[in-house]
Chains A and B, each alone.
Chain A
Amino acid sequence: MNTDRLIESLAQDLRPAPALRAPWARAGWWLLGAAAYLGILTLLMTSRADLLANGSSSGLVFSQIAAILTAAAAAAAAFASTVPAFSHRVLLLPAVAAMVWFGSLVGGAVWEWRQSGGADVAAASGEWLCVATIVFGGAPPGVGIGLMLRKGAPLTPRLTAALGVLAVAALANVSACVSHPHSSNAVTLVWHGSTILALLAGAVSGGRFLLTWEQQRFTRSPT
């Protein structure tokens, strides 16, 4: 098609498209919805005794705060990455928050290892409930952030998808950690960490199929 005709047809069928909210505002709305959903899910899965036991562990509380901050920063960075000419400095925030989060788990695991000599890890059983909570519990917020991200520009689809998945997984991880007691930080690190890494790998490989310019054109172009 001739470019002039393309321009005319684009202008002819123009519909109002109000500017999207700022990335941090969209991240805030998503975080509110996801936190409310996962909060209810956690309350349904846990008992008062488990909540009190988990709440009294300062190490656990610190790592969960770091996970929530990671989720918030990753969500904001994911939304920012769909705005043309976004500043790459926003990527530093989730990187730092994730390092603090994983650092707290690694530090706790090392401290426990020194205390018990690895007896906790040897006696630990599989934490499949955590995997299910992160994967299936995180699915609805994941769909939510996916739909919101598809409204933006797919400039860096793999990175955007990975940040979105990190946000979801970090938040679902809090639900998995709080809903039932864990035998050690090492177990949490291995089971939660490997689940999140697997999800991130899936996002990196599948991101370019989920966030595409073609999808943008056919959903946003007026017909």
Chain B
Amino acid sequence: MRKAQAGDATAYLELLRALSPRIRRIIARQRAFAGTDDVEDIVQDVLLSLHAVRATYDPARPFMPWLLAIVRNRMADGARRYARTAAREVRVDESDVTFAEPVTNPDQDTSDRVEALYRAVRALPAGQRQAIELLKLQEHSLKEAAAASGTSIGALKVATHRAMAALRKALGGSARRP
């Protein structure tokens, strides 16, 4: 961590790679009721938080208590978020008749078109592809996507706009505007 504070990216990469399985195990053990995705969400939350407050680590003190304090804090926040969501949302089972039947989805048949879309996304330049993946497929906010990709919000917007135009063109102009 001391090297990471000095800007050593290689040491930081090694540290985070070594820590993430330990963090995952701790969270999975203490949140046994949580699903794999929920655990992974908290792991990523911890990693982002650790990154954001890495300057608060005092190299003269032990590292693990510092890390565990962040893990505990993010787990508590995750539990509060989960409780709020559970209190406000009603889980509805997917209804075959209403939503999944082909007759109710005349516009979107077809694995062919889905496959064509994936091919078109894969054919995009790297920057545009990343913008589409972060903003449209993974549904991150602009701020989150900018933090994750290391580009500015403006650049992301431009890349998304160009990517959408390219996808429309690749799919024969039939793709709908977002």
Interface residues of chain A, those whose CB is within 8 Å of chain B, are 1, 3-4, 6-20, 22, 82-86, 151-153, 155, 213, 216-218, 220-223
Contacts and interface: CB of A to CB of B under 8 A. Distances in A.
Given A22-B58, A83-B56, A217-B49, A155 B5 contact: no
Given A216-B49, A220-B51, A16 B148 contact: no
Given A14-B12, A85-B69, A221-B48, A6 B55 contact: no
A223 B5 contact: no
A165 B12 CA distance: 36
A222 B151 CA distance: 9
B54 interface: yes
A11 B49 CA distance: 14
The 8 closest A-B pairs by CB, nearest first: A84-B69, A16-B7, A11-B13, A153-B53, A216-B52, A85-B65, A85-B69, A17-B55
Interface stretch (B39-47, B96-104, B115-123): B39-47
A22 to B, nearest CB: 7
A213 B57 contact: no
Interface of B: 4-10, 12-13, 16-17, 20, 40, 43-45, 47-49, 51-59, 61, 65-70, 73-74, 77, 134, 138, 140, 143, 146-152
Given A3-B40, A84-B69, A85-B69, A17 B147 contact: no
Nearest to A220: B52
Nearest to B59: A19
14 contacts: A6-B48, A7-B17, A8-B13, A9-B150, A10-B12, A17-B7, A19-B59, A153-B73, A217-B147, A221-B48, A221-B52, A223-B147, A223-B151, A223-B152
Contact of B56 (A1, A6, A152, A223): A152
